[in-house]
Structure 1
Amino acid sequence: MKYRINNIKCLLVIALSFGSMLNAQDKKTKRAKADFNSYAYAEAIESYEELVKEGYTSEEIHKNLGDAYYQKGDYNASAYWYEQLFAEPQINVDTEYLYKYAQTLKSSGNYELSHVWMQKFAEQKKGDIRAFKFQENKDYLDKIKENSQRYDIKNIPVNSASADFAPSFFGEQLIFSTARDTGRILKSVHKWNNKPFTNLYTTKVTENGEFSVAERLSKKLNKKTHESSTAFTKDGSTVYFTRNNSKNGNFLRDKEGLSRLKIYRATLNDGEWEDIMELPFNSENYSVAHPTLSNDEKKLYFASDMPGTYGQSDIFVVDINEDGTFGTPKNLGNEINTESRETFPFITEDEVLYFASDGHPGLGGLDIFATKIDDMDALYILNVGEPVNSVQDDFSFILDQKLKKGYFASSREGGVGSDDIYSFTETRSLDLQCRTELTGVVKDGKTGEPLKDADIKVYNSKNELVSGSNTNGTGMFTTEGNCAKGNYKILAFKKDYEEGEKTVVTEKGKDFNDIEIILTQIDKSAPVGTDLAKYLNIDPIYFDFDEYFIREDASVSINKVLAYLNEFPSVKVEVRSHTDSRANDVYNKNLSTKRAKATADYLIKKGISSDRITYEGYGETALVNNCSNNVPCSKESHQLNRRSEFIVVE
């Protein structure tokens, strides 16, 4: 009996101890989850890793540890915990974790395995912008290598042991954001990474590249909140800057406990920053940050996760009106923005947009990309390559285009603090002209033999000449499109041959090969009395009702007559113009004469001698159908009579 009682006591103690252990585990799990959900990632990591040391693991622990390190920018640690997550049997998590794991693997240089997981992501999420960009750029590492080694970089001496980032130009000064303040006020500890909140500092930069001791900017700009990412007008009188949502210098938080980022504007009066106001498109429910001004200072670019954002943050633009008010922010679109982070925009004088992204193919973490935004239909986004980009976060790039010098921030190894500012000199300019290569062959239609020395011209869908070239000794040609997605018309010309044409439909930036153009040999000059419109098999030269200007579609046909006249310089033609039967005979006679003269003038302006061109207006005297006076006809039938002819007279 005594033995049984002692045994029961032991079991009770074990049960109580086990219950106590479960209770402790539950408390730690709840505390870790609460820290994670309130974005206190440093504390969440500490709590979760204590649980792991004690032998507790779960899908939630692995996910949250991976995410917490991801948010802190520690991608190597994040990759480790994502690896543990996917090692669990029968794992079924959101496909976004496939992308995150692929991204973090790059930071350890494991691109091969990263591509394996990226392929899994692309297969499961085919509609994703990032998946499309990966599938279309499998050779992105080779392209990055080609674009690398364009910059000489240096770690600048004003960096601290804390985070220093977001440089901007302000005359001879370099303004930047830093976390070097001690954080002696408890509220100024940033719970995302256990670092003090950032303030704005300034340092003077000499022509020799020397830096003065960094000092804090005005107290009017620096409060007990984050301040970062400034953009100054050229005259130095206005600054746009980023600050947490605040009131009287203290935090204001949303329902989730987040103090969102906002852009503010301040004016310099007698050396003091005053009239600080937040921009009207800020919100308590989303962040607006990292402003930069266009060269004419009429547009403000920024990053935000406002409604209409594709991913975690996108680049937006808003018009600045002459009275200082603002238009409606516009998303720059999914050529630039992805489902991940696009942030820290900067615009140069030549409208080159630099921005940081972890959604476009890169080396790891945030990479810096560039694109010309003066033609949104032909955007070509370029990774600026090493050494500016690394396997860690690289961001907040700025450039003085005239001096070819600038700054950026990076969390790469070897720095002084967690984020450091680096200066750079651009030794080789970026080539941001996107090109579509078109290759093919021109052949004789009768013999099939290749034709050398044929002229090649490429026109886009707007009938604008894009490029040209000539065929070589084997009839081959290589020329370019201008990168925009759409139709390209490729024309081939050769003496004694009819013009050949091929239309191709290309994707943006995608090469088009194996184009074959067949040319048919033509007889020598046409005999007297020949209508070149029929002889050259061109579309009739039609005119609009009661008009005599050359329509855009008509110019294509006239240009074929022009080519013929250039090929046979002894030929003379009479331009004969006709009208429909509407209006009276005298009026139509005058109108047709104007049309004939307009057609003749077009050829003369293109270089044909005036003594080779005569013209005559025939009014409604030579109708091609029965649509004479008082005969009811359709508009289309009348259109057939409004035409020009080219009759060989000598």
Structure 2
Amino acid sequence: MKNHFLWITFLLILSLNACKSIQEKANDQFLSGQYQYAINSYSQILEEDPDNPEANLAIAESYRLSNRIEKAGPYYEKLAEEDPSFETLYRLGLSLKAQEKPEEAKAAFEKAKGFTQEEEYLAETQRQIEAINLAKGIDNYFPNHVLVNYKDLNTPGADYAPVTSENFIYFTSGRQASGLYPADGTPYTKLFRTRAEGIRVDVGSIQSLPEFQNEEGLNQAAIAISPDGNTIIYARGNSTSPKDIPETALFASYFRGAGFTQPIWMPVNEDETWWNSTPAFSPDGSELYFASNRPGGYGGIDLYKATKLANGDFGNAVNLGPNVNTPGNEMFPRPAADGKFFFSSDGHPGYGKLDLFVAENDASGKQVIKNLGENFNSPNDDFGIFFTEYPKTGFISSNREGGVGDDDIYFFEDKTPKPKIVNVLLNVYTKQRVAGEPDAVLEQARVVLYDSANKQTGGDFSNTNGRVRFTLKPDADFTIIASKSGYFSKSIPYTTVGKTPRPEDLVQEVTNITLDTTIVLDQLILEKSIVLENIYYDLDKADIRPDAAKELDKLVQILKDNPSIRIELSSHTDDRSSDQYNQDLSQRRAQSAVDYIVSQGIDPSRLVAKGYGESQLIIKNAQTEEEHQVNRRTEFKVIEIRE
């Protein structure tokens, strides 16, 4: 909420009758930003006077200002009991939220609203309550990613913000520190590197950054390296020297022939009194993203984007706007090549303090913010995501419970279970129909497999056993076409739907299912008549009945499978009417059958309708209805094979 709260100025005029020398020392430590030392000094005062409001306030604020607000809870609670105000109750709510006590935090926020009429404060407090409610329904953005503490890389101090470049990993660490940072009592941080391949790090060869020398007595952190490896940008600050710049700022070092230059203050900082940190390059290196508390933002710390200028510097910094930035803090940006933007925030709905988020466009093109979920985030600070293989592997940093030290480096991997494989092995047997005998093996028939998109996915000639084997996908539809010179080509549909085990029933990594099917081919002989079974007509009519249409569809398929043949379709009657009547009726019936076939997409030039009436009786002098039925038939024969 920026610096709206002015109540801390009371510390400037604190005056205790007892322990006056400790009080003055504590005041000086607090005002100079030495918060850990101030906590130690004010704690001595509370040993003598536990209810002292000034000391409780100063300790609470020292914890808050050194990013340890979860530890400030008891002190804010003490202040709220003695003299409740909006400030104490609001910050008590923040502390309880950081302690993962959502219901108690909401109660504190609700109570805080009763102590102010400022619309800005009321809106921010309501936003905190809504954020707690929204946090209950967060889904994991990468549901199968698993986070692991890189124990061999971490130390009891701080280790965080790793990036990789040219088979090296660079990171911030408190190891080899020569002093303590008085704000929080932790070792000053430096930049280090070691060899790495993806998330596999050579922890035995860690060395202080060789490109340029780490400075003593200040923090160097959050390194960024340009995609071409020629520019290093990092945050530098917290020096206790009055001759140094007063605030954390971005410094840059450039590769110039023999090595990297001494780091210099970057113009993108704009003002020495503004806090600028956590830099990151865009994937193409043309933009620099960073966090800053410069005026004109939407909260305490906002994210900005600067463009690379003609001289190689970065300038024209632009705030990323209120969709990404909140009244809270946004830090550690990480733009991805696919347009997604990852960052850390304590202002968007989350689990506690800093959480990892992604900004992406939804189906309508609107940018939405999503929390990465509980497999990445915790009630503590989670930040500094870096992908070594996007989006499957990479690193984050966190000070969550169970770590090795303060901030720790964690690696993550996509552990999506590999799907169990089902291979459908289909044996296709080709046979030929022999009149009056069982179907015989047909060798050297060409068998071709097509998928549902009519794309050929396999083809071979049948072996001496008449077999061709294909490997099919489960739950899919196919078409199999068999052909051989001197035979009618034939296509049949084939499906594997419902012919394989359910995925949840699979045990082995690979399961082979063997299935069989047979295609029987008929010999193609010119002028040989073939009877079409079950072609019936109503008495004295030539209309194609539905049952006859079903049988004619089989002939349609034969014509489609054999585009080079031309046929005669003939109709025959029995001899129970006059010759002329039967002749006319059979011609009309043959023509109706041909017209139906043409309606199904067959070229009419491939068809000849011929009515034979009773001129070609199979059973002469038929006596029974069954014998007359044999004579009443529809046939076809191939009359031409076109090249």
Give TM-score scaled by structure 1 length: 0.56
Counterpart amino acid of 2:254?
T
Given candidates 216, 224, 227, the residue that maps to 1:231 is: 224
1:423 paired to 2:417:
no
The equivalent of 1:396 in structure 2 is 384
Given candidates 93, 107, 110, the residue that maps to 2:101 is: 110
Mapped contact 1:218–1:273 kept (Cα < 8 A): no
**Over alpha carbons, which structure has the higher Rg?**
2
Q: CA deviation at 1:86?
A: 0.9
Q: CA deviation at 1:162?
A: 0.8
1:315 paired to 2:303:
yes
Q: CA deviation at 1:221?
A: 4.3
Q: CA deviation at 1:176?
A: 0.4
Distance 1:208 1:151, change over 3 A: closer
The equivalent of 1:83 in structure 2 is 77
Matched-pair identity in % = 28
Counterpart amino acid of 2:320?
L
Q: CA deviation at 1:423?
A: 0.7
Number of equivalences: 396
Mapped contact 2:26–2:38 kept (Cα < 8 A): yes
1:155 paired to 2:149:
yes
Q: CA deviation at 1:120?
A: 4.2
Unaligned runs of 5+ in 1: 1-20, 430-650
Given candidates 243, 247, 255, the residue that maps to 1:268 is: 255
Mapped contact 1:200–1:217 kept (Cα < 8 A): yes
Q: CA deviation at 1:396?
A: 1.3
Mapped contact 2:33–2:182 kept (Cα < 8 A): yes
Q: Give CA-to-partner distance per residue, 1:49-70, whole Å, 9 cap, x none.
A: 1111112533322222112222
Q: Give CA-to-partner distance per residue, 1:167-204, whole Å, 9 cap, x none.
A: 11212211101111241xxxx43111222211100122
Where do 4+ consecutive residues of structure 1 move more than 6 Å?
Answer: 373-377
The equivalent of 2:333 in structure 1 is 345
1:176 paired to 2:167:
no
Distance 1:52 1:150, change over 3 A: farther
Q: State the SS of the aligned residue for 1:33.
A: helix
1:55-204 correspondence to structure 2 within 5 Å? 55-88=49-82, 90-94=83-87, 97-121=88-112, 124=116, 126-127=119-120, 130-131=124-125, 133-134=127-128, 139-145=133-139, 147=141, 149-156=143-150, 157-183=152-178, 188-204=179-195
For residues 363 and 285 of structure 2, the distance between their equivalents in structure 1, rounded to whole angstroms, comes to: 19
The equivalent of 2:436 in structure 1 is none
For residues 300 and 390 of structure 1, the distance between their equivalents in structure 2, rounded to whole angstroms, comes to: 28
Q: CA deviation at 1:310?
A: 2.3
For residues 356 and 243 of structure 1, the distance between their equivalents in structure 2, rounded to whole angstroms, comes to: 20
Q: CA deviation at 1:278?
A: 2.1
Q: Give CA-to-partner distance per residue, 1:546-576, whole Å, 9 cap, x none.
A: xxxxxxxxxxxxxxxxxxxxxxxxxxxxxxx
Q: State the SS of the aligned residue for 1:381.
A: strand
Counterpart amino acid of 2:156?
A
Mapped contact 2:86–2:113 kept (Cα < 8 A): no
For residues 395 and 409 of structure 2, the distance between their equivalents in structure 1, rounded to whole angstroms, comes to: 7
The equivalent of 1:361 in structure 2 is 349
For residues 391 and 168 of structure 1, the distance between their equivalents in structure 2, rounded to whole angstroms, comes to: 24
1:220 paired to 2:212:
yes
Given candidates 19, 30, 37, the residue that maps to 1:25 is: 19
Q: State the SS of the aligned residue for 2:316.
A: coil
Distance 1:242 1:138, change over 3 A: closer
1:325 paired to 2:313:
yes
The equivalent of 1:281 in structure 2 is 268
Q: State the SS of the aligned residue for 2:359.
A: strand
Counterpart amino acid of 1:348?
A
Q: State the SS of the aligned residue for 1:361.
A: coil
Q: CA deviation at 1:324?
A: 1.2
Distance 1:274 1:168, change over 3 A: same
Counterpart amino acid of 2:134?
Y
Distance 1:138 1:32, change over 3 A: closer
Mapped contact 1:161–1:416 kept (Cα < 8 A): yes
For residues 86 and 264 of structure 2, the distance between their equivalents in structure 1, rounded to whole angstroms, comes to: 43
Unaligned runs of 5+ in 2: 1-14, 418-643
1:38 paired to 2:22:
no
Mapped contact 2:279–2:290 kept (Cα < 8 A): yes
For residues 130 and 49 of structure 2, the distance between their equivalents in structure 1, rounded to whole angstroms, comes to: 44
Distance 1:152 1:146, change over 3 A: closer
Q: Give CA-to-partner distance per residue, 1:83-131, whole Å, 9 cap, x none.
A: 111111x42353xx44432222133331111122234456755446644
Q: Give CA-to-partner distance per residue, 1:277-326, whole Å, 9 cap, x none.
A: 32113222111111111122211110011121222211011111243133
Counterpart amino acid of 2:181?
H
Counterpart amino acid of 2:223?
T
Q: State the SS of the aligned residue for 1:109.
A: coil
Q: State the SS of the aligned residue for 2:147.
A: strand
Q: State the SS of the aligned residue for 1:205.
A: strand
Q: State the SS of the aligned residue for 2:19.
A: helix
Distance 1:359 1:63, change over 3 A: farther
Mapped contact 2:194–2:203 kept (Cα < 8 A): yes
Q: State the SS of the aligned residue for 1:406.
A: strand
Mapped contact 2:132–2:350 kept (Cα < 8 A): no
Counterpart amino acid of 2:255?
L
For residues 143 and 67 of structure 2, the distance between their equivalents in structure 1, rounded to whole angstroms, comes to: 25
For residues 367 and 112 of structure 2, the distance between their equivalents in structure 1, rounded to whole angstroms, comes to: 25
Q: CA deviation at 1:372?
A: 2.4
Mapped contact 1:294–1:351 kept (Cα < 8 A): no
Q: Give CA-to-partner distance per residue, 1:25-81, whole Å, 9 cap, x none.
A: 222222212211111111111111111111253332222211222234434421121
The equivalent of 2:12 in structure 1 is none
Distance 1:182 1:281, change over 3 A: closer
Give TM-score scaled by structure 2 length: 0.57
1:436-455 correspondence to structure 2 within 5 Å? none
